[in-house]
Amino acid sequence: MQPVIHSLDTPFSIGPVYCYSIESEDGLILVDCGLATEEAKRYYRQSFDLSRLRHILVTHSHSDHCGLAAWLAAQSGAKVYFPYRDYLKASHVNDYLRLLGDLMHGMGFDNHYYERLMAVLNAERFLAPIPQDILVAERDFPKNLGVDFIACPSHSQSDLVYLTDGCAITGDTLLRGLFQTPTLEVDMEQGGRFNNYEAYCDSMIKLAALEGRRILPGHFQAPPTIREAQLFYVKKLLRRAERLRPWRHEANISDIISEMFAGGMKDTITVFLKAAELLFMQDFFREPERLAVSLQHVGLYDQVEGRYNRALGRGKKATARQALG
């Protein structure tokens, strides 16, 4: 049976989030569950027989995708499966936030900004309540659900794509007409900053292998093809990287934002997201051949070769051999 879409409003500029229910032999499976709002709770009470909800599968732990997991688990007794890296983050949240502060200070942000950021991230709508008995998808996932998953991190360090009945439920990994900003995160496994750029280049190949499946995204209309969504993302990446090139070696991200955006940005979260994006672009400049290899692998390099060379400040006649190092 094909997954059923459920659209739940959010206060965020991205608009509604989409969650998907799947019928299984022993009851309902829900992939993502939306933000913890009273409106969303009413929707589930009215639209679901919660006594039949058995499993909640989370694509990644951003609150618009998993904010209601704790409430739904309490109402239904359903098991909740988080990606492994999100499990680590939830299990050591105080350490995570402290290390995130270290990253921000290293990027040139002062204590005043960090305190404002923590106030926002600790607000309920950004830091979702976590169920007490989280299960880890990569370790505890049942074999008989009729659902599989692959790890495709890039937007976050944890992104999982769930596969069932010819469909791919992609969360925020494939969105139509949007450059979904990579989020700044602490790598709780390796230490330091999680490298979204490296993860994106690897995940591009995994996602391309899903071509032909019906894409069920976390927001917006589904892209007609995976190839089209990836091409849009890469073109936007290269266009923004070209603009950043004069600052590609500058370590003080706070200063870059001030210089690039006429005195800086005022909104705390907008600054946080832009800082993550700038780091993503700088990682590209440090290792551009990694992206070129992935683009060659999925057959997109020829379509962006000119943009790729312009981003790096190379002449139009730069060859693929030069691009690949």
Q: Note the pLDDT of residue 172.
A: 96
Supply the DSSP symbol for 2: P
The pTM score is 0.94
- What are the structural domains of the chain? 4-301 (3.60.15.10)
Burial 33-66 (b: 16+ CB within 10 A, else e): bbbbbeebeebbeeebeeeebbbbbbbbbbbbbb
pLDDT digits (tens, 9 = 90+) for 100-118: 999 999 999 999 999 999 9
Residue 61: its pLDDT value, please?
93
Residue spans of the chain under pLDDT 50: none
Q: Which of 109, 53, 104 is nearest to 80 (CA)?
A: 53
Distance CA 233, CA 231 (A): 5
